[in-house]
Amino acid sequence: MEDYALSFWIYMAVMSVFVGGAVKKILASHISSMPTLVAWLGAIVLVERLCALCMPAVLALGIFCAVCWFYTAWAAPAPALPVEGKAVFITGCDSGFGNATVKHLDAMGFQVFATVLDLEGEGARHLKSVCSPRVSLLQVDITQPQQIQQALLDTKAKLGMKGLWGLVNNAGLCVNFGDAELSLMSNYRGCMEVNFFGTVMVTKTFLPLLRQSKGRIITISSPSGEQPFPCLASYGASKAALNLFINTLRHELEPWGLKFSTILPSAFRTGQCRNTDYWEKQHKHLIQNLSPSLLEEYGEEYILETKDLFQNHAKTASEDLSPVVNTIVEALLSPQPSVRYYTGAGVRLMYFICSYFPVSISDKFLEKLFVKKKVMPRALRKQNGLGTLLSHSLNNNNNNNNINNNNNISKIE
């Protein structure tokens, strides 16, 4: 009897996790989920009845997984919508996801309107050289309302009577690395201007064209807009504001037939992340603009470690942008696109841990996943009596570096 009770509770624990996640995902998908929900409930009832007959929990779980696999394998996906006659407007195409998406959509036959900051820049020149005449490049800074309005006029002129099928809100900016207290107010304002206000302005400006075609609005967001990633407060806050705006629009514009999808990518190597000079300039700018009291409290070595951690994390990010590009295509052409897409390695695991595990565990997971800081702020080291020890260690490292540099100079001479 005790074995049965143990099996039952093991079964209940495992099933609660899997079923809770499945139902949450189904309800969040915002599609006609009745057949899927009925199938899941049927599988749950079946396994529950088997467990009631004292079946071992492991065997019951195996049968449940087999039923889920059978349903998934045999549920034929709906065919994708045709590409012919569809036009898409994409922001932030100088590099990264935007640049790669323009080339992919052009190869598929879409008519593409791509915004760049500089029509003579490297990214724009590359698109001109590899893309077909279906791609129209528009110089747009999304923080400038006049440029957005001009882009609307240019787009309307080329579309004629045809509506705009898709808007891909890709343009974004991450200008800081550092603790929330150390981040400059200019960083907070810069992120909000591009990631929130600029994207809101673009979306509102192009909504009439999208309502005309009952099209799609796809927004590239970030898990940092929903999870407290260390040292990303200004960027995460702007993405959190954007997520709420998009979700509100999704509810309000449902009667118009528009569909909204938000993409939450993992770490990918885009933009300036591979540029060493960029990180050095950001670090120097932060040091020069911090108040003397804050610089003394935290210490230059603490800020330097943060810069190095960000730079090293950027080097390990994936260079293959195809997962995000393919997700954008799916959101554009799926008859019933998902409201949320988790794209890239580790994102689903992170959301699973942050959704179902205690806060203490999820916080530790985020710290280990992103920036693994070892240097404590200077004021805390002094309180713990570690300031002198670290100072000696840093001095020894500097002396060793000087000796090595002198040796290298001698060898060169």
Joined together, the tokens standing for residue 359 give: 């806060």
Question: Which of 141-150, 329-338, 386-395 is the least confident region?
Answer: 386-395
Residue 235 catalytic? Answer: yes
Q: What is the pLDDT of residue 296?
A: 92
Joined together, the tokens standing for residue 340 give: 């949320």
Percent of the chain with pLDDT over 70: 73
Q: Of 11, 188, 235, 302, which one is the catalytic site residue?
A: 235
**Residue 38 confidence (pLDDT) above 70:** no
At residue 112, the 3 state secondary structure works out as strand
Q: What is the pLDDT of residue 407?
A: 42
Q: What is the pLDDT of residue 7?
A: 59
Q: What is the mean pLDDT of residues 11-28?
A: 58
Distances (CA, A) of 373 to 230, 300, 306, 359: 10, 14, 7, 19
Joined together, the tokens standing for residue 73 give: 């394998």
- Alpha-helical (H) ranges within 253-321 are 276-289, 292-298, 300-316
Cα dihedral 207, 209, 215, 218 in deg (nearest 10): -50
- The residues that bridge with 216 in the sheet, in sequence order, are 166, 259
- Condensed to tens digits (0 to 9), the pLDDT of residues 253-297 reads 999 999 999 999 988 877 666 677 877 888 888 889 999 999 999
- Condensed to tens digits (0 to 9), the pLDDT of residues 120-141 reads 999 999 999 999 999 999 999 9
Joined together, the tokens standing for residue 287 give: 């040091």
- Condensed to tens digits (0 to 9), the pLDDT of residues 339-376 reads 999 998 888 888 888 888 888 888 888 877 777 788 88
Nearest 5°: phi and psi at 268?
A: -125, 150
Joined together, the tokens standing for residue 226 give: 């929903």
At residue 173, the 3 state secondary structure works out as coil
